[in-house]
Amino acid sequence: MVKLAIGSIGDSFSVGSLKAYLAEFIATLLFVFAGVGSAIAFSKLTSGAPLDAAGLVAVAVAHAFALFVGVSMAANVSGGHLNPAVTFGLAIGGNITLLTGVFYWVAQCLGSIVACFLLKFVTSGEAIPTHGVASGMTGLEGVVMEIIITFALVYTVYATAADPKKGSLGTIAPIAIGFIVGANILAAGPFSGGSMNPARSFGPAVAAGDFSQNWIYWVGPLIGGGLAGLVYGDIFIGSYAPLPAAEDYA
């Protein structure tokens, strides 16, 4: 059952909330700078050659490492979302109010946009690569791919960070989240681009002025994130009941 809460202006503009927005802005900026920067670096080193297997691995590893660090640095302040799909999935499960979630989205998208314009400046105007589906794929196929991989990401967030019974597993949450993103990029990169993150796709689209396929990276990730919130929040967290001490694995 969806647990959406609207929230209040007072809560969304409290000192703690404002700090959370700033943390999301900074962490998303640094994540996107490293992630998009890795793709630009590959293009620079290969004189604009198409992304090959080695380049895909390098980009996936860069995203995995950058997200691991980004989630770690923001976790204690904002929860370390860095992704509108994660924020939406957590809102579905009642972990954040809709109003505060909207401000998280704004901070995340602004962080991504600033990161991409900074990359254009420091690389002397190198082209900012945007997400798009592979030749021969339809937009619907791209949406389904993004739904699946974003479901995996947000499900991992729930299992390792948002589950009240996570116990010591919570200490490895940033690593697990980074790993699933890296793995999903390896699997989906040649097809949909492996975004899983509307902000990660929106910033490059703004910097490049190309929104032709950007809708895919909002529709797919938001559906996938929302489904993960419903499944994990309702089936697992929603059904928790006290267990005998001998069976408590928390």
**Averaged pLDDT of the chain:** 93
Q: How far apart (Å, rounded) are the C-alpha atoms in residues 158 and 184?
A: 17
pLDDT band at residue 50 under the 50/70/90 scheme: confident
State residue 242's pLDDT score. Answer: 55
Cβ neighbours of residue 47 under 8 Å, at least 6 residues apart? none
Please say if the pLDDT value at position 246 is more than 50: no
State residue 4's pLDDT score. Answer: 77
Q: Which amino acid is at 24?
A: E
Query: What global pTM score does this model have?
Result: 0.93
- How far apart, in Å, do the first and last CA atoms of the chain sit? 24
Q: How far apart (Å, rounded) are the C-alpha atoms in residues 98 and 103?
A: 9
- Assess contact for 55 and 42: CB atoms under 8 A: yes
Structure tokens at 52: 């090959």
